[in-house]
Amino acid sequence: MKSLSRSLALAWLAGAATCAGAAHAQPTSAGATATGQASVQIVRPLTVRAINDLDFGCIVASGAGTVSVDAASGGTLYSGGARAASSGGSCSGSAASFNVEGEQGREYRFSIERRTVARLDSDASVTLPVSDLQGRSNNLPAADGAGQLDADGRDLLRVGGTLEVPEGAPPGRYSARIVVTLAYN
Protein backbone atom coordinates (compact mmCIF):
# COMPACT_ATOMS: atom_id res chain seq x y z
CA MET A 1 0.00 0.00 0.00
CA LYS A 2 2.90 2.24 0.81
CA SER A 3 4.35 1.77 -2.62
CA LEU A 4 0.99 2.56 -4.25
CA SER A 5 0.68 5.74 -2.16
CA ARG A 6 4.25 6.67 -2.98
CA SER A 7 3.62 6.04 -6.70
CA LEU A 8 0.46 8.16 -6.62
CA ALA A 9 2.27 10.93 -4.76
CA LEU A 10 5.12 10.88 -7.28
CA ALA A 11 2.66 10.87 -10.17
CA TRP A 12 0.82 13.78 -8.63
CA LEU A 13 4.08 15.75 -8.13
CA ALA A 14 5.14 15.01 -11.70
CA GLY A 15 1.78 16.25 -13.01
CA ALA A 16 1.94 19.39 -10.87
CA ALA A 17 5.47 20.10 -12.08
CA THR A 18 4.38 19.67 -15.69
CA CYS A 19 1.43 22.08 -15.22
CA ALA A 20 3.62 24.63 -13.47
CA GLY A 21 6.22 24.35 -16.22
CA ALA A 22 3.55 24.80 -18.87
CA ALA A 23 2.33 27.95 -17.16
CA HIS A 24 5.82 29.47 -17.41
CA ALA A 25 6.75 28.06 -20.81
CA GLN A 26 7.13 30.25 -23.93
CA PRO A 27 4.34 30.06 -26.50
CA THR A 28 4.83 27.29 -28.97
CA SER A 29 3.54 29.34 -31.95
CA ALA A 30 5.78 31.91 -33.66
CA GLY A 31 5.32 35.52 -32.41
CA ALA A 32 5.17 38.64 -34.57
CA THR A 33 7.53 41.60 -34.43
CA ALA A 34 7.66 44.91 -36.22
CA THR A 35 10.21 47.66 -36.50
CA GLY A 36 9.14 51.30 -36.51
CA GLN A 37 11.16 54.43 -37.07
CA ALA A 38 11.48 57.76 -35.36
CA SER A 39 12.38 60.85 -37.36
CA VAL A 40 12.60 64.59 -37.04
CA GLN A 41 13.02 67.49 -39.42
CA ILE A 42 14.62 70.56 -37.94
CA VAL A 43 13.55 73.78 -39.66
CA ARG A 44 14.86 77.30 -39.43
CA PRO A 45 13.16 79.15 -36.59
CA LEU A 46 10.77 81.96 -37.43
CA THR A 47 12.15 85.41 -36.75
CA VAL A 48 10.41 88.75 -37.01
CA ARG A 49 12.00 92.18 -37.01
CA ALA A 50 10.27 95.57 -37.05
CA ILE A 51 11.27 97.67 -40.07
CA ASN A 52 8.83 100.60 -39.99
CA ASP A 53 6.41 101.71 -37.29
CA LEU A 54 2.69 102.16 -37.83
CA ASP A 55 2.46 105.90 -38.47
CA PHE A 56 -0.86 107.72 -38.39
CA GLY A 57 0.91 110.82 -39.75
CA CYS A 58 0.57 114.43 -38.61
CA ILE A 59 -3.01 115.41 -37.90
CA VAL A 60 -5.03 118.41 -36.90
CA ALA A 61 -7.93 117.53 -34.60
CA SER A 62 -10.76 120.06 -34.67
CA GLY A 63 -13.00 117.57 -32.88
CA ALA A 64 -13.38 113.86 -32.29
CA GLY A 65 -12.37 111.69 -35.23
CA THR A 66 -10.37 108.73 -36.43
CA VAL A 67 -7.35 108.04 -38.58
CA SER A 68 -7.17 104.61 -40.22
CA VAL A 69 -4.18 103.10 -42.00
CA ASP A 70 -4.88 100.10 -44.24
CA ALA A 71 -2.53 97.14 -43.66
CA ALA A 72 -2.50 96.03 -47.30
CA SER A 73 -2.20 99.32 -49.16
CA GLY A 74 -0.83 101.60 -46.45
CA GLY A 75 -3.47 104.17 -47.45
CA THR A 76 -4.71 106.61 -44.80
CA LEU A 77 -8.36 107.52 -44.23
CA TYR A 78 -9.43 110.43 -42.01
CA SER A 79 -12.90 110.88 -40.53
CA GLY A 80 -14.71 113.26 -38.21
CA GLY A 81 -12.58 116.11 -36.84
CA ALA A 82 -9.25 114.42 -37.64
CA ARG A 83 -7.57 115.77 -40.77
CA ALA A 84 -4.10 115.53 -42.32
CA ALA A 85 -1.92 118.48 -41.24
CA SER A 86 -0.37 118.54 -44.72
CA SER A 87 -0.05 116.21 -47.65
CA GLY A 88 3.01 114.11 -48.41
CA GLY A 89 6.40 114.02 -46.75
CA SER A 90 6.83 113.05 -43.12
CA CYS A 91 3.19 113.87 -42.34
CA SER A 92 1.83 110.96 -44.39
CA GLY A 93 0.50 107.89 -42.63
CA SER A 94 1.93 104.45 -43.35
CA ALA A 95 1.47 100.85 -42.27
CA ALA A 96 4.00 99.18 -40.00
CA SER A 97 6.19 96.60 -41.66
CA PHE A 98 7.96 93.57 -40.23
CA ASN A 99 10.50 91.30 -41.93
CA VAL A 100 9.63 87.65 -41.34
CA GLU A 101 12.24 84.95 -41.98
CA GLY A 102 12.23 81.18 -41.60
CA GLU A 103 12.05 77.91 -43.53
CA GLN A 104 11.48 78.49 -47.25
CA GLY A 105 7.99 77.80 -48.57
CA ARG A 106 6.44 77.19 -45.15
CA GLU A 107 3.19 78.80 -44.05
CA TYR A 108 2.88 80.54 -40.70
CA ARG A 109 0.14 82.16 -38.70
CA PHE A 110 0.36 85.46 -36.89
CA SER A 111 -1.64 87.21 -34.25
CA ILE A 112 -1.69 90.86 -33.37
CA GLU A 113 -3.21 92.33 -30.24
CA ARG A 114 -6.27 94.05 -31.70
CA ARG A 115 -6.24 97.00 -29.30
CA THR A 116 -3.59 99.10 -27.61
CA VAL A 117 -3.19 102.68 -26.43
CA ALA A 118 -0.94 105.43 -27.70
CA ARG A 119 0.55 107.46 -24.84
CA LEU A 120 1.59 111.09 -25.02
CA ASP A 121 5.40 111.05 -24.88
CA SER A 122 5.51 113.99 -22.44
CA ASP A 123 2.71 112.66 -20.16
CA ALA A 124 2.03 108.90 -20.29
CA SER A 125 -1.28 109.35 -18.46
CA VAL A 126 -2.75 110.95 -21.62
CA THR A 127 -3.80 108.20 -24.03
CA LEU A 128 -5.47 107.69 -27.39
CA PRO A 129 -7.12 104.34 -28.21
CA VAL A 130 -5.72 102.34 -31.12
CA SER A 131 -8.09 99.65 -32.40
CA ASP A 132 -8.70 97.25 -35.27
CA LEU A 133 -5.02 96.36 -35.57
CA GLN A 134 -4.66 93.85 -38.39
CA GLY A 135 -1.90 92.44 -40.55
CA ARG A 136 -1.38 91.34 -44.14
CA SER A 137 1.32 89.10 -45.56
CA ASN A 138 2.97 90.21 -48.80
CA ASN A 139 3.18 86.61 -50.03
CA LEU A 140 -0.33 85.58 -48.91
CA PRO A 141 -2.30 88.87 -48.95
CA ALA A 142 -5.82 87.42 -49.02
CA ALA A 143 -5.35 85.30 -45.89
CA ASP A 144 -6.35 86.78 -42.56
CA GLY A 145 -3.82 85.89 -39.87
CA ALA A 146 -1.63 83.77 -42.16
CA GLY A 147 1.48 84.24 -44.25
CA GLN A 148 3.88 82.22 -46.35
CA LEU A 149 7.62 82.38 -46.67
CA ASP A 150 8.96 82.61 -50.23
CA ALA A 151 11.70 80.50 -51.85
CA ASP A 152 14.29 82.49 -49.89
CA GLY A 153 12.42 81.99 -46.60
CA ARG A 154 11.18 85.60 -46.39
CA ASP A 155 7.95 87.55 -46.15
CA LEU A 156 6.93 91.11 -45.34
CA LEU A 157 4.12 91.53 -42.83
CA ARG A 158 2.28 94.88 -42.81
CA VAL A 159 0.15 96.12 -39.92
CA GLY A 160 -2.52 98.79 -40.00
CA GLY A 161 -5.17 100.02 -37.60
CA THR A 162 -7.35 102.89 -36.42
CA LEU A 163 -6.40 105.73 -34.09
CA GLU A 164 -9.33 107.21 -32.18
CA VAL A 165 -8.86 110.91 -31.47
CA PRO A 166 -11.22 112.27 -28.80
CA GLU A 167 -12.29 115.90 -28.81
CA GLY A 168 -9.77 118.05 -26.95
CA ALA A 169 -6.85 115.63 -27.34
CA PRO A 170 -3.70 117.55 -26.35
CA PRO A 171 -1.13 118.14 -29.10
CA GLY A 172 2.14 116.22 -28.98
CA ARG A 173 3.78 113.01 -30.10
CA TYR A 174 2.03 109.77 -29.05
CA SER A 175 3.55 106.28 -29.11
CA ALA A 176 2.00 102.81 -28.84
CA ARG A 177 3.40 99.31 -28.61
CA ILE A 178 2.25 96.73 -31.16
CA VAL A 179 2.77 93.05 -30.32
CA VAL A 180 3.04 90.56 -33.21
CA THR A 181 3.30 86.82 -32.51
CA LEU A 182 4.23 84.20 -35.15
CA ALA A 183 4.18 80.40 -35.31
CA TYR A 184 4.50 77.83 -38.08
CA ASN A 185 1.31 76.10 -39.24
pTM score of the predicted model:
0.77
Q: pLDDT tens digits for the chain (185 residues)?
A: 455 444 444 444 455 555 555 555 555 678 899 999 999 999 999 999 999 999 999 999 999 999 999 999 999 999 999 999 987 667 889 999 999 999 999 999 999 999 999 999 999 999 999 999 999 999 999 888 999 999 999 999 999 999 999 999 999 999 999 999 999 99
pLDDT on residue 87: 72
- Domain ranges in the chain are 47-184
* E strands, the chain, in order: 47-52, 59-69, 76-84, 96-101, 107-112, 116-120, 123-137, 146-148, 154-165, 174-175, 180-184
